[in-house]
């Protein structure tokens, strides 16, 4: 294990393995296992060196909702994986992040009714805590795969135990999946996890690379 102890990813307002209801893919499509792992700031919304600190500060990048909708129409589940050290640094509590993400979901759906985020995972830890969940470590991606696969079978997630790093041996094929981010830590997490990495310009975000993703998925 590269990092000790294991500091796991978090979900908003619930435990990591609490129930997860998935919204059906558009047009009755059956999920074939592909996941789009997305960073948040610089991919879906405009980021800030001073952090996005409130729901009122959430501003979507151009056509972000349409891009998420396009991914879901192409059969991808959407898993947002975001480092959120303001929590670990004591700037604000996890409830603030939950409200920020509620606003993000609302704005994406205003842009496209298919733009559902299936799962949002965050790492609340400060950089010096050495968390396996904090990118460039792959903990959020590892948890995202296991949560989405389990929820597709049983939304209650009964008996699910998330495994990380060498403890997780029964891994799915990620050849059809993709990780989109605007920073080196995102690309590092993708490399460590073994998924295709696509780096976007933070001024255009996901919409700027959506054609590349869909062409590769065809």
d(CA 92, CA 45): 19
Question: Of the listed 12, 24, 39, 63, which one is catalytic?
Answer: 39
Q: Beta-carbon neighbour count of residue 155 at 10 Å?
A: 12
167 is catalytic: no
41 is catalytic: yes
The number of CA neighbours under 13 Å toward the Cβ of 29 is: 16
Q: Is-contact 124 87, C-beta < 8 A?
A: yes
d(CA 177, CA 154): 22
Question: Of the listed 12, 41, 112, 166, which one is catalytic?
Answer: 41
d(CA 190, CA 213): 15
| C-alpha distances in Å from residue 174, one per residue of 32, 33, 34, 139, 165 | 11, 8, 7, 15, 15
Can you state the angle between helices 184-193 and 139-153, rounded to 10 degrees? Answer: 60
Tell me the catalytic residues. 39, 41
């Amino acid at each position: 294990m590269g990092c000790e102890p294991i500091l796991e990813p978090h979900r908003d307002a619930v435990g990591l393995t609490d129930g997860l209801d998935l919204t059906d893919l558009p047009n009755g499509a059956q999920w074939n296992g592909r996941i789009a792992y997305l960073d948040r700031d610089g991919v879906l919304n405009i980021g800030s060196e001073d952090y996005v600190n409130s729901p009122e500060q959430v501003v979507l990048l151009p056509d972000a909702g349409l891009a998420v909708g396009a991914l879901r129409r192409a059969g991808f589940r959407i898993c947002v994986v975001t480092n959120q050290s303001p929590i670990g640094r004591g700037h604000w509590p996890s409830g603030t992040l939950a409200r920020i993400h509620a606003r993000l979901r609302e704005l994406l759906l205003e842009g496209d009714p298919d733009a559902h985020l299936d799962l949002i995972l965050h790492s609340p830890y400060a950089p010096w805590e050495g968390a396996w969940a904090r990118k460039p470590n792959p903990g959020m991606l590892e948890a995202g795969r296991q949560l989405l696969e389990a929820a597709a079978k049983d939304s209650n997630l009964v008996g699910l135990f998330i495994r990380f790093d060498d403890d997780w041996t029964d891994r799915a094929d990620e050849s059809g999946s993709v990780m989109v981010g605007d920073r080196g830590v995102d690309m590092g997490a993708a490399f460590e996890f073994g998924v295709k990495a696509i780096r976007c310009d933070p001024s255009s975000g996901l919409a700027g690379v959506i054609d590349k993703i869909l062409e590769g998925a065809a």
